[in-house]
Structure 1
Amino acid sequence: MQTRPTKRTVTSCCTKPELKDRPLLSPIQAGGLAAVFKVLANDTRLRLLHALVRADELCVTDLAASVGMKPQAVSNQLQRLSDLGILASRREGINIHYRLVDLCVRSLLDQGLCLMEEVTDRSQRWSRRGCS
């Protein structure tokens, strides 16, 4: 018998009212949110963020090794995330170390991965029943 992992509660990262209690997004807010999702909608950046969640802080060289890319290419991706305020960096000698400073991103990654896994599980259950 296959056991499912226990459900975990992801606490809100935001001190603002819950989404259901907020007014409908204005066009400007929707555009800003779309810009955030556009930066996050990149498989390399998602892998870099996950590596930082797992390790708390990593230098560019270690991040590049973790995703199998050249340090310069990784630096460009990290800059996009830093420009959005998701990451902070510090220099130590010739190395630049990055860390996640926006805890909402950690929660968003966790929720996104959970959603992806649930959708996959549901799809597999339906395909086993002969439905598509």
Structure 2
Amino acid sequence: MLGNDTRLRLLHALHRGGQVSVGELADLVGMRPQAVSNQLQRLADRGMVVAHREGNRILYEIADPCVPSVLDLALCLIEETGAGGADARR
């Protein structure tokens, strides 16, 4: 599940942004909203993200408390080894 670059980018955006809509996520990661929605559904099916309605918007956030720790650790390892260049540190 976490081996997919798209899902990792979405999780990273959620980690940084908290509660985010599909449209906002699509803008953040440079994807079409439908593609983002499909990937979010896969993450939700695994219990990694959860959605809730706020007015007429559906907001997503990380549900699994382990996900932020894994993302932080991965970023730390990338920064320590220098792998990934500047893109990894964004």
- Give TM-score, length-normalised by structure 2: 0.83
Q: Percent identity?
A: 58
Report the aligned-residue RMSD.
1.4
How far off is 1:70 after superposition?
0.6
Aligned counterpart in structure 2 of residue 88 of structure 1, from 42, 45, 50: 50
**1:49 equivalenced with 2:11 (yes/no):** yes
Aligned partner letter, 1:77: Q
Instruction: Tell me the equivalent position of 2:87.
Output: none
Instruction: Tell me the equivalent position of 1:21.
Output: none
Q: Partner of 1:40: helix, strand, or coil?
A: coil
Instruction: Tell me the equivalent position of 1:77.
Output: 39
Aligned partner letter, 1:56: G
**1:60 equivalenced with 2:55 (yes/no):** no
**1:108 equivalenced with 2:73 (yes/no):** no
Instruction: Tell me the equivalent position of 2:80.
Output: 118
How far off is 1:92 after superposition?
3.3
Aligned partner letter, 1:47: R
How far off is 1:101 after superposition?
1.3
Task: Could you list the structure 1 runs, at least 4 aligned residues long, displaced by more than 6 angstroms after superposition.
Answer: none
How far off is 1:119 after superposition?
2.0
Gap runs ≥5 in structure 2: 84-90
- Give TM-score, length-normalised by structure 1: 0.58
How far off is 1:83 after superposition?
0.7
Q: How far, CA to CA, are the matches of 2:44 and 2:79 in structure 1?
A: 28
Gap runs ≥5 in structure 1: 1-38, 122-132
How far off is 1:91 after superposition?
2.3
How many residues get paired? 83
**1:97 equivalenced with 2:64 (yes/no):** no
Q: CA 1:62 to 1:77, structure 2 compared with 1: closer, same or farther past 3 Å?
A: same
